[in-house]
C-alpha cells in the first residue's frame, strides 16, 4: 500500500500537472476528501477530489465551455 502524501508532496505533484492558472488553497487530507482549488484567471473557487486533479488535470467549471451550466429560475428568466 502506498504511503499517504503530505501537503507539500501533493502540491508539488499538482503544480507539475497543472503548472499555471490554478492554485491549491485547501488542505490535503487524502485522495478521497475534496480539496479547495482556485482558478487564478477568474477567481472561481471550487472543490475537487485530489486524485482526479492529478489524473485528469484541473479545469474551471465556470470557464469551461463544456461544463454544464446550472442556474436558478430567476437567472434563467433574466437571460
Domain limits, the chain: 7-78
For every one of its 79 residues, what pLDDT tens digit does the chain have, with 9 covering 90 and above? 578 899 999 999 999 998 789 999 999 999 899 999 999 999 999 999 999 999 988 888 888 877 666 667 777 677 6
pTM above 0.75, yes or no: no
> For residue 67, what pLDDT is reported?
65
> For residue 64, what pLDDT is reported?
81
User: Shortest CA distance to 22 belongs to which of 55, 62, 60, 68?
Assistant: 60
User: Shortest CA distance to 27 belongs to which of 44, 47, 13?
Assistant: 47
> For residue 20, what pLDDT is reported?
87
Amino acid at each position: 500500500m502506498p504511503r499517504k502524501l503530505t501537503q507539500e508532496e501533493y502540491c508539488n505533484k499538482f503544480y507539475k500537472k497543472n503548472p499555471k492558472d490554478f492554485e491549491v488553497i485547501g488542505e490535503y487530507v487524502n485522495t478521497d476528501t475534496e480539496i479547495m482549488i482556485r482558478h487564478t484567471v477568474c477567481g472561481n473557487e471550487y472543490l475537487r477530489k485530489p486524485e482526479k486533479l492529478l489524473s485528469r488535470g484541473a479545469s474551471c467549471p465556470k470557464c469551461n465551455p463544456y461544463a454544464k451550466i446550472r442556474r436558478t429560475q430567476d437567472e434563467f428568466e433574466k437571460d
